[in-house]
Structure 1
């Protein structure tokens, strides 16, 4: 790896880790408010209603899950620096449905802010188990984060699971900036961002999300395709259409 490539990797990694850190900060601040941390050392008990208790549990779970994403992102940096490092990563039993469900919960604050509803439809909620490297955790998070981030307000993101003997098919449908036929194959390229996506978000993204998704998918023999329907409406002058992500995850 050249010095320029190394510097680019550092900048890219810092960008992603700052984003995760901001999410972690938001969850921690919400948890602090719910637990009334300003009352520490005042010998006062924590008294809360069931609904508030559930909110506290969810916030605590999201903090734990985000810390796992930090670890996953750092593992990914190791692999980028040294491809042979993948051999050192643990292989685990993974419930692929559970990974998407976890990502949905972690993105609850963003989806609520955007007024976007994330729906998961599956024939069997517990799903089936696959063997995967630990970095697979970041794949559903990046796909759903992308869908929610680019969706117009008050729209749905629908995730459908269909199980077969040898694989599970997953489809993610959302509304997003129209992607031309000449751009579809470029989406997984490092630093590539669609023309219309740049009109919606021209400063925060670095065109790395789908690159990481593609890398992890290839590592696990997951087939993934993207499709953007012909645009039929505009939002603030930007053409929008239904965007779909189709995954085929092999089952052992």
Structure 2
């Protein structure tokens, strides 16, 4: 790796970790408010209704999960610096549905802010288990984050699971800036962002999310395809259409 590539990697990694850290800060602030952290050392009991208790549990779970994403992202940096480092990463048994459900919960604050509803349709009784490297944790997070981030307000992100003997098929459907046929294959290139995505004032990115997704997908023989339907409406002069991601995750 050249010095220029090394410097780029450092800048990219700092950007991603800052993003995670901002989310962690948001979760911690919400948890502090729910627990009335300003009352520390006042010998006051924590008294909360069941609804508030559920919010506290969800926030605590989100903080723990986000901490895990930090570790996953750092592992990814190790692999980028030294591809042979992948051999040192732990292989774990992964509940495919569970990883997507966890990512949904971690992105609940962002989805509420965007007024976007994340819906998962699956036979939850059919929870397939695969063996994968630990960095697979970040794959569903990046895909759902991307869908929510580019979705207009008051739209849905639909995630549908289908189970087969040899694979799990996952389809993610959302509304987003139209992507031309000439751009689809470029979406996974490092730093590439679609023409219409670049026109969005409120959506800043570095074109890394789908690049990371491709790297992790290739590592696990996951087939992934992207499709943008013909656009049918505009928002602030930007054409929008249905955007879908299809994954086929092989079962060992």
**Structure 2 counterpart of 1:236:** 236
Alignment of 1:168-179 (within 5 A): 168-179=168-179
Cross-structure match for 1:48:
48
Change (3 A) 1:197 1:105: same
Cα–Cα, structure 1 residues 77 and 223, in superposed 2: closer, same or farther, change >3 Å? same
Q: For 1:211 and 1:71, locate their aligned partners in 2 and report how far apart those are by CA, in whole Å.
A: 19
Q: What does residue 181 of structure 1 align with?
A: 181
- Distance in 1 separating the partners of 2:42 and 2:213: 48
Between the aligned partners of 2:204 and 2:185, the Cα distance in structure 1 is 22
Number of aligned residue pairs: give it.
252
**Cα RMSD (Å):** 0.9
- Counterpart-to-counterpart distance in 2, 1:135 and 1:96: 13
Q: For 1:29 and 1:126, how far apart are their aligned partners in 2?
A: 36
Q: Residue by residue, what CA displacement relative to the aligned partner does 1:115-160 show, whole Å, maximum 9, x if unpaired?
A: 1000000123451100000000000000000000000000000000
Point out 4+ residue stretches in structure 1 off by more than 6 angstroms.
none
Matched, 1:77 2:82: no
Q: TM-score, normalised by structure 1?
A: 0.99
Alignment of 1:1-252 (within 5 A): 1-201=1-201, 204-252=204-252
Contact 2:150 2:203 in 1 (8 A): no
Residues 66 and 120 from structure 1, CA distance in 2 versus in 1: closer, same or farther, beyond 3 angstroms? Answer: same
Report if the CA contact (8 A) 2:13-2:77 is conserved.
yes
* 1:87, distance to aligned residue in structure 2 (A): 0.2
State the Cα distance separating 1:249 from its structure 2 match: 0.2
Query: Is the Cα–Cα contact under 8 Å of residues 97 and 125 in structure 1 kept in the other structure?
Result: no
CA distance in 1, matches of 2:115, 2:206: 24
Unaligned regions of 5+ residues in structure 2, if any? none
SS in 2 for 1:185: helix
Partners of 1:228 and 1:240 in 2: how far apart? 9
Secondary structure of the structure 1 residue equivalent to 2:197: helix
Question: Residues 180-206 of structure 1: CA distance to partner in whole angstroms, max 9, x if unpaired?
Answer: 000000000000000000111577200
Q: State the secondary structure of the residue aligned to 2:28.
A: helix
Greater shift, 136-145 or 126-135, is seen at 126-135
Separation in 2 of the partners of 1:30 and 1:59? Answer: 8
* Contact 2:28–2:63 under 8 Å retained in 1: yes
SS of residue paired to 2:179: coil
Q: Structure 2 length normalisation: TM-score?
A: 0.99
Q: Distance in 2 between matches of 1:201 and 1:84?
A: 39
